[in-house]
Amino acid sequence: MTRARKPAAGALATPPCTSRPADAKPFPLTQPPPKRARKAGRAPGAAEPAERPLELRLLADMLRIRRMEEKCAELYGAGKIRGFLHLYIGEEACATGAMHALAAGDNVVATYREHGHALLRGVAMDAIMAEMFGKAAGCSRGRGGSMHLFDVSRRFYGGNAIVGGGLPLAVGLALADRLQGVCRVTACVFGEGAMAEGAFHESINLAALWQLPVLFCCENNLYAMGTALARSESQTDLCAKAASYRVASFRADGMDVRAVFDTVSRAAQQVREGGGPAFVELQTYRFRAHSMFDPDLYRDKAEIEQWKQRGPIHSFSAQLKAEGSLTEELFLALDAEAEAEVAAAIAFAEQAPWEPVADLLKDVHTPAAADERGAR
């Protein structure tokens, strides 16, 4: 679904991008897994991950997220991962399709259910796993944990665990790009629960008013923790809410990785061409509880089972097999590759050292402050 939008009168339009940003290299759609992992799992004669056709990369990345998170659940049970752990199992098509639809130089701001987004933006699985273990080799030096994965070098501005908290940041990142004449999309991922927050309404209004290049990407998994959409929103048509701000709105089946990729690609293209912000609703479902503390009492087991029938990995691999572009042998090889990458990441996290307690207060302030703040 697409709704047309006219810029507000007097709005300052973002100039369309005629060229890609300076740092936009061809996107290495996935980080090649560590060598040992690739050797362990690769089917004889299979292509390097980055050289595979898009379909296989999408499938492989969904498998990487799934296998990583299944192990996370086990490691949580074993006490290796603590705190809140929010699994994305069932929703992999959303991150996979959406992250593949972005350029390498784009910004991403995500939520606390962001393991998959971080991984597909190129944060090494080793660093993600080490972060969940609380180790100094983690992508946030063990300061953030599962909910706060960061890699600013890849323009991944975090796991934000305040619902809606990342949306104003995305508007600001896009504003900074506009003021500096940089052509870049800032994608902001959030759940449908965030659309009840004032932060959503303030942010989308600002982005539309100022015609900023923000891609609002709503992963609608139907439950804000335990509260069903219809119990939290007077208007359950999320695209209608976004469209009321005169923002182009798109909807896609979030269980279908191709549909997500195509829809987010179109929306991102429109944003990149100076069309102002866009909104995408990805209709999806999480198969697991909200977090490891959630007894999942608010949903029918039958409903969960029904959604599982549409699981994004098996439905996409069945499609590919029917089209003749995937064999069972290749599927197993991709799966083994993912498993090997996860095993290597766990081994890395296990052996990684703890940060010394003496460093507790490090990074509260930027060190240069001491030099710059003086009399001037």
Partner 1 sequence: MRISYREAMRQALREALANDARVFLMGEDVGRYGGSYAVSKGLLEEFGPERIRDTPLSELGFVGAGVGAALGGMRPIVEVMTVNFSLLALDQVVNSASLLRHMSGGQCSVPMVLRMATGAGRQLAAQHSHSLENWYAHIPGIRVLAPATVADARGMLAPALADPDPVVIFEHAQLYNLEDDLLDDWRCDIARAAVRRPGTRASVFAYGGCLPKALQAAEELAASGIDVEVVDLRVLRPLDIDTIAESVRRTHRAVVVDEGWRSGSLAAEVIARIAETCFYDLDAPPARVCSEEVPIPYAKHLEDAALPQPAKIVAAVKELLNV
**Binding interface with partner 1 (CB under 8 A):** 12, 107, 109, 138-144, 148, 150-153, 157-158, 160, 162, 165, 167-177, 179-180, 198-199, 202-203, 205-206, 209, 362-366, 368-369, 372-376
Q: Cα(376)–Cα(374) distance, rounded to whole angstroms?
A: 6
Smallest distance from the beta carbon of 289 to partner 1, in angstroms?
24
Q: Cα(272)–Cα(315) distance, rounded to whole angstroms?
A: 31
Q: Cα(23)–Cα(15) distance, rounded to whole angstroms?
A: 18
Smallest distance from the beta carbon of 330 to partner 1, in angstroms?
37
Angle (CA) 133-117-95 rounded to 5° is: 135
Smallest distance from the beta carbon of 30 to partner 1, in angstroms?
22
Q: How far is CA 68 from CA 55, 78, 149, 294, 355, in A?
A: 20, 15, 15, 20, 24
The nearer residue to partner 1, 184 or 290, going by C-beta atoms, is 184
In which element (H, E) is residue 294 found? none
* 206 DSSP assignment: H
The nearer residue to partner 1, 31 or 317, going by C-beta atoms, is 31
Residue 132 structure tokens:
């969940």
Pairing mode, strands 227-228 and 223-224: antiparallel
150 near 160, Cβ under 8 Å? no
Smallest distance from the beta carbon of 50 to partner 1, in angstroms?
26
Smallest distance from the beta carbon of 163 to partner 1, in angstroms?
10
The nearer residue to partner 1, 107 or 249, going by C-beta atoms, is 107
CB atoms within 10 A of CB 308: 13
The nearer residue to partner 1, 116 or 145, going by C-beta atoms, is 145
Pairing mode, strands 107-111 and 186-191: parallel
Smallest distance from the beta carbon of 371 to partner 1, in angstroms?
9
Smallest distance from the beta carbon of 137 to partner 1, in angstroms?
10
The nearer residue to partner 1, 203 or 249, going by C-beta atoms, is 203
Beta bridge partners of 223: 228
349 near 341, Cβ under 8 Å? no
The nearer residue to partner 1, 36 or 362, going by C-beta atoms, is 362
Query: Phi and psi of 31, rounded to 5°?
Result: -70, 130
The nearer residue to partner 1, 43 or 182, going by C-beta atoms, is 182
Smallest distance from the beta carbon of 362 to partner 1, in angstroms?
7
Smallest distance from the beta carbon of 165 to partner 1, in angstroms?
6
Q: Cα(63)–Cα(69) distance, rounded to whole angstroms?
A: 10
Q: Cα(180)–Cα(62) distance, rounded to whole angstroms?
A: 35
The nearer residue to partner 1, 170 or 248, going by C-beta atoms, is 170
Amino acid at 69: E
DSSP string across 138-187: STTTTSS-TT---BGGGTEEEEE-STTTHHHHHHHHHHHHHHHT----EE
Q: Cα(301)–Cα(80) distance, rounded to whole angstroms?
A: 29
The nearer residue to partner 1, 92 or 131, going by C-beta atoms, is 131
Query: Phi and psi of 249, rounded to 5°?
Result: -120, 135
The nearer residue to partner 1, 30 or 107, going by C-beta atoms, is 107
Smallest distance from the beta carbon of 242 to partner 1, in angstroms?
15
